[in-house]
A and B are shown apart, each in its own frame.
Chain A
Amino acid sequence: MFGWEFPPHILGGLGTASYGITKGLAAQPDVEITFCLPKPWGDEDKSFMNIIGLSETPIVWRDVNHDYLTQRLGTKMDPQLYYSLRDHIYADFNYRMTDDLGCIEFSGRYPENLQDEINNYSIVAGVIARQQQFDIIHAHDWLTYPAGIHAKNVSGKPLVIHVHATDFDRSRGQVNPTVYRIEKDGMDHADCIMCVSELTRQTVINHYHQDPAKCITMHNAVYPLSQDILDMVAERRKQHSSNREKVVTFLGRITMQKGPEYFVEAAALVLQRTRNIRFCMAGSGDMMNDMINMAAARGIADRFHFPGFMRGKQVYEAFADSDVYVMPSVSEPFGISPLEAMQCGVPSIISKQSGCAEILDKCIKTDYWDIYAMADAMYSLCTNDSLHQYLKEEGKNEVDQITWEKVGQKIYNVYSQLIHK
């Protein structure tokens, strides 16, 4: 499996999804997973799979002695694996920048020279593909597609690519041709394309011209919350007095794709009628200043708050303090945050244009542009206790049924079909 991010060092939703998928797959009977990461930190959870760091994989033959190697690699890699990988160097890469172990540096992030990093990733993957024994190649998101193609060419094994997002979602139509080329190339070579939602699947079919038969929808899931987070949420809820003001929350990057302006407009409509509701727009992004101006221009700045970027536990604290969660995304391949909100017992309003709307029933769905419907739903959730209570309880029950184990089972079935083709 080729991935770019893995918990605990994650930058976006990709890492969380990669973790869930591997964990869910590992729960299946005869599955062994080797996960290739550009730069492991050594503190990843390796209990259910092997991790190979590309930044520790040699592409140039260096004579290193065992003791030095052990000290250099630490917990990141077994020296024996290093030697074994070194035996599979397939070309002369001396002209490349390599360190004393013959390895290429990776940042493991999304740096300026992302193109080079993707290219390097693919080169190093070739070594791994020659050394490892495997039956299926699974590549997560476009950064790893070239590596996947390389591995397929070397081994002849089926390639599965996992589309977590396409450039059409990220850019609202202003597609970057280089990215599009890499994505299209990956899809053309793939034996199976797993899309995180039907919405993404349609994009892949219509904009990347793929055969619908090889595109499969594989919805994401969520991990059950740990007990201490649930306790924290319950504890915070208890402190709220019964007649406190209601809080409606938006949480995510404040950027065009997430549709923050529709949230502000809907909030303005709600506040025309009632004043005892507060709105909170958590997160940061390029449209944040515009949104602050917009809230001021609508005259609702006194009821509209921007607490800034939230990380880790803060997210759950924000959920615990919220009465309604809103995700008005214009285009969302999946969108895992409403599921998290529902886990915390917060009723959600999501746009019909988001992938998670396909698997969620116990939430309110509106079109992202329909600010009247959105405002109506917010108002209704804040004033009608029965609706709030129903969606709170049933929403939690529903999300609890969406597990990575089930996703793992489905992926396993797809694998079996591919192998026996």
Chain B
Amino acid sequence: MKTVCLYFEIHQNIHLKRYRFFDIGTDHYYYDDYENARSISETAERSYVPALEALIEMADANPGYFKCAFSLSGCAIEQLENHAPQVIELLQKLNNKGCVEFLAEPYSHGFSSLKNVETFRDEVTRLCAKVKALFGQEPKIFRNSALIYSDEIGELVASMGFKGMLAEGAKHVLGWKSPHFVYHCNRDPRLKLLLRDYTLSEDISFRFNDSSWSEYPLFADTYANWISNLPEQDQVVNIFMELCALGIFQPLSSNILEFMKALPSQFKERGITFSTPSEICSKMKSAGELTVSYPTSWVDEERDLSPWLGNVMQREAIDKLYSIADRVRICRDRRLMQDFDYLQASNNLRFMSTKPNSYGGYRGIYDSPYDAFTNYMNILGDFITRVNDRYPLDIDNEELNSLLTTIKNQGDELELKNKEISKLQNMLAKLEKKTAPAAEKPKTAAKKADSKKATTKKATAKEATEK
């Protein structure tokens, strides 16, 4: 009995604008609004909307049988809310059919899991809240940006209470093992790992429309046969891809959606089921622990961090960025936190990659990796100055944190007192109203007035001492 776990990533980065070094200190807006609006609406139109409609159709045709999982990055949610709300609506529609599971991921689609634990926890919590608000689900399974996984990250994720995590079934990690089993993190057995079968995933996401591929054209029955012909004991086939694989990487003209729509019935014939990640994590037992000492990802042939952290420029950029992570988190400034989210997105670093052909040569507005680096560092230069200008640099983070906490607590307390005062004042007003008609009965009125006076006095005295 085999089960297939389908998962789609939705992520769009916020494009940075051309930012020269003369702008440092004068211009604090870093984004290319036109490009953001254009790229998200194009992606939505060419990929997200048709793909989601196809998935809804699949869910309608196979109620209770077809299932899939999604994760959205915070940047993508914001962009979709602003420019393509119909995508969110489609996701909600799909969600209402009860066949979707939403997973957690870092809000920014960045690398805080490698660099800053506190920022990471904060980001994930924020995303979970956002998912809860939009779709009413509390994510139980985690997936990291670009499917980055290592033992340390696994431990961290487990400590946050997640039951499972998605990771890449990279050959250099698995060796002779098969990705078609559930494994667990070697530092915390509570965290189950679902490993992507990159061959079967990329058959769809990369090769589907490649006429030089030996299996071209691929049909749903062939694909279903590949899965059903896997060894008897293989249990899970994890097919993870970006949602824009359907429509952008593989154009709609390649009939990729017809292929997808044909999958459920083909799978059904061969006794293959669909499952969501949390179903797999709760039903299946782990086949053993998995050791991943160096982080793996789902990108390029190496399946490591080299597309983002392969050269010295990328490493300098990320080190500079996360050097102020604590400060940004402590200062609680909304604008700064928002900019920090956008700057963390992995795409910014990927533009600086000097690996040949990484990203299919796509670099956005940049000519070269050096251009991308220069632009990013200019922006980062301005951002860091803004963060540092916020509070004097000679106060260290801990001190600043405690000061800010004190201020915040006092603020909270004051608010509480204010509420109390207004409540009492309301009571007073009510009592006065009552006493007015009761003026004929001075005895009781005097009594009441007395007790009232006492309470107001108390309140004002209290207020005075607080102040």
Binding site for B on A (CB under 8 A): 269, 272-273, 364-366, 372-373, 375-377, 379-380, 383-387, 389-391, 394
Contact = CB atoms under 8 A, between A and B. Distances in A.
Contacts of A379: 21, 374
Nearest to A363: B370
8 contacts: A364-B368, A365-B367, A372-B22, A380-B378, A383-B377, A387-B313, A390-B312, A390-B313
A384 B313 contact: yes
B316 A385 contact: yes
A75 to B, nearest CB: 50
B370 A376 contact: no
A384 B22 contact: no
Given A365-B368, A376-B378, A380-B377, A386 B21 contact: no
A272 B20 CA distance: 13
B419 interface: no
Given A380-B370, A387-B374, 16 more contacts: A272-B22, A364-B370, A365-B368, A375-B21, A376-B378, A377-B371, A380-B21, A380-B373, A380-B374, A380-B377, A383-B381, A385-B316, A387-B312, A387-B370, A387-B373, A387-B377
B252 interface: no
Given A384-B373, A394-B354, A389 B22 contact: no
A389 B10 CA distance: 36
Q: Majority SS of interface residues in chain B?
A: helix
A33 to B, nearest CB: 37
B222 interface: no
B312 A273 contact: no
B322 to A, nearest CB: 15
A383 B320 CA distance: 13
B311 A390 contact: yes
Nearest to B377: A384
Nearest to A385: B316
A331 B313 CA distance: 31
A365 B371 CA distance: 9
B24 interface: yes
B315 interface: yes
Nearest to A380: B374
Nearest to B316: A386
Contacts of B20: 372, 375-376
Contacts, number: 60
Contacts of A272: 22
A383 B370 CA distance: 13
A306 B126 CA distance: 58
A305 B24 CA distance: 27
Of the candidates A269, A377, A387, the one having the most CB atoms from chain B within 10 angstroms of its own CB is A387
A257 to B, nearest CB: 23
Interface string B361-386: 00000011011011101100100000
Interface size class of B (residues with CB under 8 A): 20 to 34
B131 to A, nearest CB: 36
Nearest to A378: B21
A366 B368 CA distance: 10
B374 A376 contact: yes
Interface in B371-414: 371, 373-375, 377-378, 381
A238 B355 CA distance: 32
Interface in B309-358: 311-313, 315-317, 354
Contacts of A366: 367
A117 to B, nearest CB: 44
Contacts of B21: 273, 375-376, 379-380
A273 B368 CA distance: 24
Of the candidates B313, B315, B367, the one having the most CB atoms from chain A within 10 angstroms of its own CB is B313
Interface string B281-312: 00000000000000000000000000000011
Nearest to B25: A273
Nearest to A391: B370
Contacts of B313: 384, 386-387, 390
A379 B370 CA distance: 12
A326 to B, nearest CB: 14
A188 to B, nearest CB: 38
Contacts of B378: 376, 380
Nearest to B24: A273
Contacts of A394: 354
Interface string B1-34: 0000000000000000000111010000000000
A379 B24 CA distance: 12
A377 B312 contact: no
A224 to B, nearest CB: 24
Sorted nearest first, the 8 A-B pairs with minimum C-beta distance are A386-B316, A380-B374, A386-B312, A379-B21, A386-B313, A364-B370, A390-B312, A376-B20
A391 B368 CA distance: 12
A273 B374 contact: no
B371 A364 contact: yes
A391 B374 CA distance: 13
Contacts of A377: 370-371, 374
A365 B20 CA distance: 16
A269 B22 contact: yes
A136 B1 CA distance: 74
A386 B22 contact: no
Nearest to A352: B367
A289 B20 CA distance: 30
Contacts of B312: 386-387, 389-390
Contacts of B377: 380, 383-384, 387
B260 to A, nearest CB: 39
Contact of B315 (A273, A380, A383, A386): A386
A76 B19 CA distance: 61
B248 to A, nearest CB: 27
A387 B369 CA distance: 10
Contacts of B381: 383
A394 B378 CA distance: 23
Nearest to B380: A384
Nearest to A366: B367
A385 B381 CA distance: 14
Nearest to A367: B367
Of the candidates B22, B24, B375, B378, the one having the most CB atoms from chain A within 10 angstroms of its own CB is B22
Contacts of B368: 364-365
Contacts of A386: 312-313, 315-317
B372 to A, nearest CB: 11
A124 B402 CA distance: 92
Nearest to B22: A273
Contacts of A380: 21, 370, 373-374, 377-378
A376 B312 CA distance: 19
Of the candidates A375, A379, A380, the one having the most CB atoms from chain B within 10 angstroms of its own CB is A380
Nearest to B356: A361
A273 B370 CA distance: 21
A373 B311 CA distance: 22
Of the candidates A365, A379, A385, the one having the most CB atoms from chain B within 10 angstroms of its own CB is A379
A269 B367 CA distance: 21
A251 to B, nearest CB: 21
A377 B372 CA distance: 11
A225 to B, nearest CB: 24
A365 B312 CA distance: 20
B23 to A, nearest CB: 10
Nearest to B21: A379
A385 B373 CA distance: 12
Nearest to B319: A386
Contacts of A376: 20-21, 374-375, 378
A356 to B, nearest CB: 15
Of the candidates B315, B316, B375, the one having the most CB atoms from chain A within 10 angstroms of its own CB is B316
B386 to A, nearest CB: 17
